[in-house]
Structure formats: C-alpha cells, structure tokens
Structure 1
C-alpha cells in the first residue's frame, strides 16, 4: 500500500489537472458558441447560393458557356485537402479525419498514390505533422490557416485549389473534414470539390420538371452571371467547410474536457478513499505499538 505522502501528492496532482480541464472546457464552450453562430449563419446563405446555381445551370446552354470548374479529366493527379485542428486535447477529432483520409486514398486513389501523384494539402498543424511524418507529398502553404480564420484567408486557399485545377496541375480536388452536427457529434466526411459534380439523371429530370414553367431573365447575360457566381459559390463552399470543422473541433474539445473532468473526479474519490484507509492503517499501527509498549512496561514492572 502506498504511503500517505505519495497518495497526498497524487491527490494534489489530479486536483490541479481537474482545474485545468474545467478551465479548458469553459474556454471551448465560449469558442463553440461563436463558431456555432458563424456556421449557423453561413449554412442558409450557402444553400441558397447552391440553389441559385442549380437554377441558372438548368437554363444555361453548356455548349455556349464553358465552365472550366466542371471539366472532367482522367484522374492522374489528385489534391486531397485534409482539415484538422492546430491543437490536440479534442478527443477523436483528428484521428477520425486521418482514418477517413486514408480510407478515401485506399478506396479511390490507391493507383494515384502509388504513382506519386497524390498530394495532401493540410489545413491545421495536426494534419501537417501527421502526413509529413509519413512521407506524403505535402502542400503546406495553408497549414496554419486556422491561426487567423476569416473569409479572406479561406478564399486564398480556395483560389489556390481552383487555379491549380483549371491549370491542370490537379485533375481532382477532394476535401476531408468533420461536419458539425451538435456538441457531441461530429461526422468525418469526404466531399468532391472539383470538378463540380453534375446532378444525377433523376435529379436533373425532377429539376427540369419543376422549372419547366419558369423563364429566367439574365442581366447582362448568362455567360457573365455563370462566370461570376460559380467561383464565388466554390469559395463559399470552401469557407463553410472550414467553419464546420472549427465548430466540430470546439464541440469535440468541450466534450473531451468534460469527460476528463468527470474522470478526474472519479479518480479523486478513489484516491481520497485510499488516503483515508492508509491513514487509518497507520493510526491503528501506532496505537498497537503504544499498547504493546505499555504492556511490556507493565510486565517488566
């Protein structure tokens, strides 16, 4: 059995840890509220913009208007954007992204990786550390983007991916990130960013049926509107992805720190019980020694 000094030292250590996890939980909760507000405000705008693009696309003659972001090519080079966090202590937030990214690579891009044409663009220091240590081809320009997350910085990263695709540097761009559902639930998803995916035949037929009676007026013209709205939509989509990941990170961290605080509380109960038992055993031993000494003196007298 451990002595009193050791148990007391462990109690003090766990108590200090519990205070830290409580503080981290409160900080994460405050950041989560802000992040949740941002993604809640962004989602309706993003969805409406996507709806507008769908409506415009339905009335656009694809032969007259060239959309370089929808060009489907043989997949020779791939850019995989992996969105993680800058810091740890957020449960399985990062590990789930690593597993998802590797599953996507194994299922879809195994041949591309074998040819050395798979590139990882990590957004977040944890992703950069993980993939760079494992020998992947890294595009590290935006690894620290979360240190100053705003639409301007996100737009720069999106423009890099978009320009690289248009110029033929990459034939496909895919994003792996955590989608925010609620505080306790984050879902690792992989979405194709480029080329823009066309709707399925059923969706196109349904959309054309719904829009059959609608007549659109384009000012100044279809080509101008299409060329303006598609790049903007892609940038908004990219920014929304980062906001989803940021909210998911704070939710995961708050949940992890809450569980750590509870675990510290349970450990403190066990340590205090051990401390009391050890102290009681020490007192009992001292009493027995005193009684034994008194009896020895009495017999000797």
Structure 2
C-alpha cells in the first residue's frame, strides 16, 4: 500500500504543476497579444524612416553625423536583449549563445585585450555575463516594468554618447526577432556606426525627390539619431513579443507533457491497485481453505 500512496502523491503533484502551466500559458497569451500589437504598429514607421534616411543621406557629400563614422573596431559594445524571467524554453540561452559566438568569431582579439563590453537589457543576460566577469555596463532590467520609447531612449542616449566620445568603435545588437508565437528569429545587427551600405542600396531602389525644409543636411542630422533610437526600441519590442510567444509555447508543451505523465501514473496506479486487491483476495481464499481443511 506504500507504493499506492507514493503514486497518489505524485499524481497530485503533477496535477498541481499542470494547473500552474495552464495558467502561465493563458497569462502569456494575453500579454503576447499586447506585445504583438506594439511591434506590428512600430514596424511600418521604422521601415519608412529608414527608407527616407537612405534616400536623403546617400546624396550628401561627406558624412554630417558622428554616428556614421567608420572606425577600426578596437573597442566593441554588444547590446544583448533577453528577458527578466525564465520558463520560456531556450529563448534566453539562444541569445546568450549567439552573443558568445559573435565574440568568438568576430571579436576574439578585442575580448582577449579586454575591449569587449556587454550592455544587457534583461536580468537573464545581465546575471550570465556578470557571473563570468565580463565588463557589463549598467543595469537596464527595469525597462520592462514600463516598456516605453522614452525609457528605451535613455539607454540609446548612453550608447550614442559612448560611441561619440570614442568609448566604443562599434556597437552590435543581438536579440530575438518576433515572427509568430512559435518562431523567434535570432538576429544580430550593427547599431553603430549606422551601416552605409543599407542606405545606398535602398536609395537605388527608391529614388524619391523630396521637398525639404529647412535643408537636407539638417534633416539628416535629426533623422540619424532618431533612426538609431527607433532601431533599439524595435529590437526590445521584438524581444518582448518573442519572450511571451516562447513562454506560451513552452507552457503549452509542459501542459501536454504533464497530461501524458498523468496518464502513465494513473495506469501505474490502477495496475498496483489491482495487484493489491488480487493479493488480498488470494490471502482471504487461502485462509478460508486452511480453516476448512
């Protein structure tokens, strides 16, 4: 009977876990809807801003912005966008692995010289790199408490100031780009200096004659910082939507696995119960036969 009691306790434990994973799946589904709406609304604006900037800046003679200045990448900053919480499958670990691969394949010399810095957005990546004694810049985990353009812009301003002052020669961005609830695309982008080749390519595809006021140079000078801020804000929104999609999928799978485990435990329980009943009946029959004999 001790075996039956253990199985009953385990069944109860799995049922409790299944209720928790179901609730977490529903919470993530509700949050995913809001996060998806936010990134879908931002993407057309970000794309159009990038297109206009490409058309304007490619025709300028010489760079009018310090954020387009190409330098030898002696000092590198990598912005790693993860989440504050776990239970989202491989969501956070995939970003960390992509960052580690980027350092190993592209910036190994800079890392050996201690010139690779990490700016983590999200507690999971922050903790990972702090425990491994990387040069982690600041703490930006509270940005998810109120995920607004103004809060993300504070981070972007510090990055742009560091690049302008020569603290970093290159800034890379690693995050999960949202495709749908089940698919997140690991993405690595150059944040600074603003890539010139993309602007030139767009210019050839979309030649537009704008009426400009006050001047092309001044407009580009305003648009370049804004484009960089929008790019980082879009990455954070993408990652935020991807997190809830990954967690919803993970909790759905966990709920299914709990259901399969419950079936197996109930079958085991019934088999043990039948064996116990059979043993008791056999003992009763044997005892009765002994008395009659």
Same fold (TM over 0.5): yes
Deviations 1:83-114 (A, max 9, x none): 01100000010111111000000111100000
Match of 1:237 among 217, 231, 235: 231
**Do structure 1's residue 287 and structure 2's residue 281 form an aligned pair?**
yes
- The equivalent of 1:298 in structure 2 is 292
TM-score of the superposed pair, with normalisation by structure 1: 0.94
Deviations 1:8-39 (A, max 9, x none): 00000000000000000000000000000000
Kept in 2: contact 1:59–1:216 (CA 8 A) = no
- The equivalent of 1:256 in structure 2 is 250
The separation in 2 between residues aligned to 1:209 and 1:285, in whole angstroms, is 83
Regions of 4+ moved over 4 Å: none
| Shift of residue 75, structure 1, vs aligned partner | 1.0
- The equivalent of 2:200 in structure 1 is 204
Where do 1:156-235 residues align within 5 Å? 156-199=154-197, 204=200, 207-208=203-204, 211=207, 214-235=208-229
Secondary structure class of the residue paired with 1:73: coil
- The equivalent of 1:121 in structure 2 is 119
Kept in 2: contact 1:128–1:140 (CA 8 A) = no
The separation in 2 between residues aligned to 1:206 and 1:82, in whole angstroms, is 27
Deviations 1:133-181 (A, max 9, x none): 1111111231332222111110001111111101111101011000111
The separation in 1 between residues aligned to 2:83 and 2:132, in whole angstroms, is 18
RMSD: 1.6
Match of 1:101 among 99, 104, 107: 99
- The equivalent of 2:80 in structure 1 is 82
Show structure 1 runs of 5+ residues with no match: none
The separation in 1 between residues aligned to 2:250 and 2:25, in whole angstroms, is 8
The separation in 2 between residues aligned to 1:205 and 1:82, in whole angstroms, is 27
- The equivalent of 1:32 in structure 2 is 32
Show structure 2 runs of 5+ residues with no match: none
Kept in 1: contact 2:55–2:202 (CA 8 A) = no
**Do structure 1's residue 274 and structure 2's residue 268 form an aligned pair?**
yes
| Shift of residue 227, structure 1, vs aligned partner | 1.2
- The equivalent of 1:139 in structure 2 is 137
Kept in 2: contact 1:2–1:278 (CA 8 A) = no
The separation in 1 between residues aligned to 2:260 and 2:139, in whole angstroms, is 44
The separation in 2 between residues aligned to 1:53 and 1:209, in whole angstroms, is 13
- The equivalent of 2:60 in structure 1 is 60
Secondary structure class of the residue paired with 1:199: helix
Tell me the number of residue pairs that the alignment of Structure 1 and Structure 2 aligns. Answer: 293
| Shift of residue 76, structure 1, vs aligned partner | 1.2
| Shift of residue 210, structure 1, vs aligned partner | 5.2
| Shift of residue 66, structure 1, vs aligned partner | 1.9
Kept in 2: contact 1:121–1:139 (CA 8 A) = yes
The separation in 1 between residues aligned to 2:200 and 2:185, in whole angstroms, is 28
